[in-house]
Structure 1
Amino acid sequence: MAREPDTAAETPLDLPAAPHRPLSKRALATRNALLDAARQVFAARGFEGATISEIVARSGTSVGSLYNQFGGKEHLFLELHRRHSELLWEATQQAMERARATGERDPFRLYLAGARAYLLACWDERDLARLFLSGEGPPGFDAIARGALRRWINQNADVLQVTGRRFGEALAAAVTGVVAAGARQVVACPARDDAAEMTEYFAMLVTRLAQPADQPGTHYLKRDFNL
C-alpha cells in the first residue's frame, strides 16, 4: 500500500512555499505547463542535471513565471513528488475499496489488493517512480524520504491490523520493504504485462513472508505473536 501524502511534513522549511491563492485559467495553464516540462526534464536528467532554462524552454513560459509559481526547481520537484504520492495513494485506496465491495474483510488480502495496485501504478508512472526511487532530489529530500517510509510502515501496520502486537511493527516493516523492492523491479519492466507478472511475483513473496512454514494457508496475522 502506498504511503499517505503529507506535504506539510514533507516540505523542507528552507524552501519557499507555493502560492495558495486561487489561480486564473492562464496562471493554471502556465503552472501545468511548467510541471509537465519539469517532469520530462527531471525524468531525463535527474534533479541535479535539470536546469531551469531547459524546463522553461520546454514549457514555453518564462523564468519569471517559474519563480512566481514555484520559487525555483526545488519546489517544482516537490510538487511533482506530492502529486505522484497522491496518485499512488488513491490507486491503493480504490483497490482496497473495490475489494471491500466484494465482501473481502481479511486485512492481509486487503493489503495485497492495495499493494498490487501500488506496484502497477508505479509502472504506469514509471518515469516519476524511477526518479523518486533513486533518492536524488533537493537538499533535505533524503529526510523527506525517511519520514515518508516511517509513515508508510505505520499505515501498513494499521491496514494489516498488527499495530501494538508483538513483532507487529517488524512484520509491517518487512512487507513494506518487500513492496518497496518490488517497485524498483516493476518500474524496470519493459511492458505492462511484464510489470503485472513482476507484481504477482512480489505479491507471492509478501504472502510467503506472512505465512508460517508450519501452517500453510494461514498467515501471521491470524496468530498471536507469542513466539
Structure 2
Amino acid sequence: MARKPGGRSGSWEWSRTAQTRKSMLQAAREVFSEHGFADANVADVVERAGSSVGSLYHHFGGKTELFLALWEEHQAAHEEAAASSVAAAKQAGVKDPVELFIAGARAFLEGSWQRRDLARLFMDGDGPPGFELMRRTRGREWVRQNAVLLGAANTPTDRLTVSVLTSVIGEAGREVATSETEEEAKEVVDAAIALIRRFGDPLATHDDTTGAAGGADDAGAALS
C-alpha cells in the first residue's frame, strides 16, 4: 500500500533537508570567513558539513549560490531585528521618526557585532561576479526605505540628510564588525547614535511625519 503524503515520512524528509541546508550554510560560513569567496573550496565546505558535493549542488547549485544564500540570510536577520525593534518602540509610544530610526539602527549595529564574521566577509569586496551590483542595488533601496521611515520630504536637503544618516549606519557597521572587543563596538554604536541625532534633527522638526508610519517592515528593509 502506498504511503499517504503528508505523513510522518514527509515530515522527517523535510526535517532532514532543513538540517542538511543548515549544516552546509554553517560550514560555508566558516570556510568563507576563513578563506574568502575566491579561495574557498567546495570540498572543504562539504567535509565540514559531513555531506557530499552532490548534495551541496542539489541544495544550492554551487559555491556562488551558497555565498548568496548566506548573504540573504544575513540580510534577513538584520531586517527582522530592526523591524522588531522599531515595532517595540512604536508599541512603547515612540512617534519621533528619528528615534524610530535609531531603534532600528541600534538593532542593525548590534547584529553587525553578533555576526561580525559575516559582516566582514560581505564588506571586503571578495564575492562572486555580480555581487557588487547586488549590493549597490540593495544600497539604493536602503536609502529609499530610510526616507520613508524618516518621513523625509523630496527636497535636496532631506535627500542629503537621509543619505548621510544611511552612510553613518553603514560605516558604523563596518567599524563595529572590525572592533577588537565588545566594549569598543558599543562605543562605536553610541557614537553613531549621537551622530544620527545630530544630523537627523532637521527631519525631526517636520510637521508632516506621515512617512514615519511606513511601518516596521519598511524599517527592517531599510536597516539592512
TM-score range, shorter chain: 0.7 to 0.9
Aligned to 1:222, which of 205, 208, 211?
A: 205
Q: What is the CA-CA distance between 1:207 and the residue it aligns to?
A: 1.9
TM-score by length of 2: 0.83
**2:199 match:** 209
Displacement after TM superposition at 1:150 (Å):
0.2
2:111 corresponds to which of 121, 125, 129: 121
Q: 1:41 aligns with which of 7, 13, 31?
A: 31
Instruction: Please identify which structure carries the higher helix content.
Output: 2
Assess if the C-alpha contact under 8 Å between 1:119 and 1:182 holds in 2: yes
CA contact (8 A) 2:150 2:203 kept: no
Q: What's 1:61 paired with?
A: 51
Equivalent in the alignment of 1:130: 120
> Contact between 1:154 and 1:169, CA under 8 Å: does it hold in 2?
no
Does structure 1 retain, via aligned residues, the 8 Å contact 2:64–2:128?
Answer: yes
Q: CA deviation at 1:102?
A: 1.3
- Distance (whole Å) between structure 1 residues aligned to residue 124 and residue 28 of structure 2: 17
SS state of the match for residue 99, structure 2?
Answer: helix
SS at 1:210 equivalent: helix
Residues 128-150 of structure 1: CA deviation (Å, up to 9, x unaligned) = 01111112211000100000000
Is the Cα–Cα contact under 8 Å of residues 162 and 221 in structure 1 kept in the other structure? no
1:162 pairs with 2:152: yes
**Structure of greater relative contact order (alpha carbons < 8 Å, 6+ residues apart):** 2
Correspondence for 1:173 among 163, 172, 175 = 163
1:194 to 175, 180, 184: 184
Q: Give structure 1 stretches of 5+ with no counterpart.
A: 1-21, 212-218
Q: Percent identity?
A: 37
Q: CA–CA distance in 2 between the matches of 1:75 and 1:163? A: 38
* Number of matched pairs: 196
Instruction: Look up the equivalent residue of 1:77 and give its one-letter code.
Output: F
Alpha-carbon separation, structure 2, partners of 1:79 and 1:182: 24
Q: Deviations over 1:68-107 (max 9, x none)?
A: 1111010000110111000001111111111111111000
Change (3 A) 1:28 1:220: closer
- Counterpart pick for 2:19 among 17, 21, 29: 29
Report if the CA contact (8 A) 2:109-2:176 is conserved. Answer: yes
Aligned partner of 1:142: which letter?
E
> Which of 99, 113, 124 pairs up with 2:89?
99
Q: Deviations over 1:18-57 (max 9, x none)?
A: xxxx962222222111111000001111101111011111
TM-score (norm 1): 0.82
Q: Does 1:86 align with 2:86?
A: no
Are 2:60 and 2:66, in contact at CA under 8 Å, matched by a contact in 1? yes
Q: Report what 2:221 is aligned to.
A: none
Letter aligned with residue 126 of structure 1:
R
1:144 is aligned to 2:134:
yes
For 1:111, give the aligned amino acid.
F
